[in-house]
Structure 1
């Protein structure tokens, strides 16, 4: 199977997608995987056996487009030698819909996934390649053609390299110019990090333009490969944004997921204009993350309590439960929580749950009962009462207004 390991490496390098090579029993012989599938979505190992069974029942010139219960799609082709099935080469996961948020809502409801996982799942699905029907078809046909005959070793014919002539006077000028560029870049970088730490999206929009201009100026760091240089700078910015958001007190769970997603998207981007657009998206999303999940302005006890609440919204939560989990006295926690947030724990939890409920009500085709249970309310009447108290309208009225 060594030749198919080479093919797997080649497919991964060109498509930037995850590739797995399995033997006939479903055991993994090689993989090149960037995506860490969230625990709540299970693990695809049992799907490898299923995929092999399907491929083994069909002709060697056919490929298998598999969609699992969580909407994750895979393209697989059998490896055959002298009409005998040897294993499979699988590429994925990918998705065929850009409506990620809607997809997440449907998947969470169908599979009864905890509401606290929504943000992490959003980040994961947004990191996946989105393939059109024709693109997935071409990938299937490509895999069939790559795996239907023996691997052929190839050789490269190279052109002669022209040795550059160094102009030392110009080199001195360039060094001075680069010094100014570096100082300017660090100045804007620090201001931008401060803006992200505050979640100040308006300030970020002003600063990001200057940073991107400087960013493009560093596109020759890898000689002859400006896209690689630009990607490297984008990785640096991703790290800077993550550190800035961390300073605001955003929980590492959220930071890990958004950082991993952007790392994958950066590597998959193929043009400098696309990378520039991505820089805007990255800064804005980190800013939004700070706005939604920052707890750095709270005292340590309240910060820990808020983090626990945000990660467990879909489960029963009470003052006693939280106090026990974070090992503090309930009365002390209640007092500190009111001091820091201006509301008691029950009101805070209800506010966050109603915020989540709004996202599902905007969908328009989910029952009120399902939404209530998804966001942690065990009683539909209580859900409606709390929702109206916080929004001045009932859940049904809110959903109807969103349709208009």
Structure 2
């Protein structure tokens, strides 16, 4: 750590980090004033009037309610902080005896790029006037994206550059208190368990829950409805003390999460299952009364069961199901038997035989069928031309796309489009 005795040592580390990762880096002096900023100028957050004040709040989150506090300011381990606006920062307090109390701040960055809808919901959560959306979008699109693991590795790298020592991921997460679960009182837990037993106000038996999601997994809606009807309202837990509606919504989210896993186990493509989960949870969050939530939970369970029942891969081996799932998720990329053989960790010849035996189709035919099914969905969307669809789905040209489309549907893409438009009028 002796290199930090040199005034330029910390600045050198900041410059190396910035040049390597192209993420903003600040060096603050002992008075929390900016000593070095890289880059020297950048897009400022619309809600920030003074960058020095913002960084001071990041370093000392007790000054602001907009920062999640993960650690005290004296930690020698990097601290990861996230604002209410989803910006991520890494802090490292340089050794006091060598640096005079300086601090390196890395950020802001995002875990993932935000869509317009994401930004709108953030503005709503923070009571920001809707008219500022363009300004917010411009700011968020200027931020670098570091997924969670890259952000953690950046913090570990910063620690090693400063101290010359290694830092494991578990040391980072535990010592910097990124993971800081609230400890429940054992007395409170015991008291509540005793109260529920004394009043025979018990949760539902786990075997009932298993039966419910077993029927989701098997796509058996009739049995699903029968089991669900046996659940008593008093058997549900209280998932919010302040609001019955919030408690019911939390229960719905838990139920849909379990149904999502059951559907995947039943052979439903995981991307479909997760997306289905998103749609139902988003719908439930918008509801205003408990009966509507109850109805939505039941509808979601039935929807999962229906999708599992209609899914063609439900009875396939795990290997072929993995391949079909990969094809479904990567239709917009180049696909080949060789690539699938790598995914399945099998010899291409054996995989080809296994796939044909279980599905009745060659791998190439199945890929074409899935692309035609996707093309049919795209044709129904406004503003997408047939030539654009052909290009997106990796058909060599539009004439070849038309030939393959007619092979599997009996009509041309243009005829399909015309028929759909006629039926909708």
TM-score, length basis structure 1: 0.53
Distance 1:201 1:351 in 2: 28
Distance 1:64 1:207, change over 3 A: same
Distance 1:261 1:208 in 2: 24
Distance 1:293 1:256 in 2: 15
Structure 2's unaligned 5+ residue stretches are 1-56, 69-83, 90-104, 141-194
Distance 2:266 2:85 in 1: 37
Alignment of 1:65-144 (within 5 A): 65-67=132-134
Q: How big is the shift at 1:243? A: 2.6
State the Cα deviation string for residues 116-142 of structure 1 (Å, max 9, x = none): xxxxxxxxxxxxxxxxxxxxxxxxxxx
Report the equivalent of 1:370.
388
Report the equivalent of 1:193.
213
Alignment of 1:296-375 (within 5 A): 297-375=315-393
Query: Are 2:72 and 1:6 aligned?
Result: no
2:229 aligned to which of 176, 193, 210:
210
Q: Secondary structure at the match of 2:133?
A: strand
8 Å CA contact 1:309, 1:349 repeated in 2: yes
8 Å CA contact 1:362, 1:399 repeated in 2: yes
Distance 1:250 1:278, change over 3 A: same
Q: How big is the shift at 1:266? A: 5.5
Distance 1:381 1:293 in 2: 31
8 Å CA contact 1:64, 1:75 repeated in 2: no
Q: Secondary structure at the match of 2:335?
A: coil
Q: How big is the shift at 1:375? A: 2.4
How well do the aligned residues superpose, as a CA RMSD in angstroms?
A: 4.6
8 Å CA contact 1:8, 1:19 repeated in 2: no
Query: Are 2:297 and 1:279 aligned?
Result: yes
State the Cα deviation string for residues 170-191 of structure 1 (Å, max 9, x = none): 998951xx45x825x853x334
Runs (4+) of structure 1 exceeding 6 A deviation are 26-29, 170-173
TM-score, length basis structure 2: 0.51
Distance 1:223 1:326, change over 3 A: closer
Structure 1's unaligned 5+ residue stretches are 10-17, 46-50, 52-60, 69-73, 77-87, 91-169
Q: How big is the shift at 1:218? A: 2.9
Q: Which has the larger radius of gyration?
A: 2
Report the equivalent of 2:183.
none
Distance 2:196 2:332 in 1: 61
State the Cα deviation string for residues 299-349 of structure 1 (Å, max 9, x = none): 233223222211211122222332244332222111111111111112211
Q: Secondary structure at the match of 2:64?
A: helix
Distance 1:62 1:22 in 2: 23
8 Å CA contact 1:195, 1:203 repeated in 2: yes
Distance 1:365 1:236, change over 3 A: closer
Higher relative CO (Cα under 8 Å, sequence separation at least 6) belongs to 1
